[in-house]
Amino acid sequence: MNKKTRKIKVQDKNYVYVINQKYHQGVSEINLSVSLKGQKNVTCSFQFCTWDDPISGSPLLVGVHLKKRASDDIEGFNLNYPGVVKQFIMYGLENGWSGSNRITFSDGLEILENMGYDVLWLKIGPNLQ
């Protein structure tokens, strides 16, 4: 995956982020790493582990439709969307990241679940573990 650093502004602060992906045996491991601009070594990282389709790729990076449990609304979701990255930055800021400390959230799918999305179908089945 291209490791291009991207810029985003959230609450009048400038951030940069990088999305990295590793594949192995039908599994996609994705890392979203965010930092304040100029402080790239002080990151807030989110790790996602989901299945990977050999033809279409990782659902979180190619885009999927996720259902909001509360309303049954279907939303387009893609980790490459700036609006999605902003949600994760806000989550980090609300859950212990200040921009001047390192923090890692090891289960991004659980965070999506906490945000109200139905993500059960994205989880890896026992035959892939």
Considering its fold, how many domains does the chain have in total?
1
Q: What is the pLDDT of residue 126?
A: 57
In a domain? residue 101: yes
pLDDT over threshold 90, residue 11? yes
In a domain? residue 92: yes
In a domain? residue 33: yes
Q: What is the pLDDT of residue 129?
A: 44
Q: What is the pLDDT of residue 18?
A: 97
In a domain? residue 1: no
Closest CA to 91 of 48, 122, 50, 46: 46
The mean pLDDT of 109-127, rounded to a whole number, is 89
Which residue segment(s) compose the domain that 58 sits in? 6-128
pLDDT classification of 25: cutoffs 50, 70, 90: confident
Q: What is the pLDDT of residue 121?
A: 93
Interior/surface letters 93-116, b for 16+ CB within 10 angstroms, e for the rest = beeebebeeeeebeebbebbbeee
**Residue-wise pLDDT tens digits, 74-107:** 999 999 999 999 999 999 999 999 999 999 999 9
User: Cβ contacts of residue 118 below 8 Å, gap of 6+?
Assistant: 66, 67, 68, 69
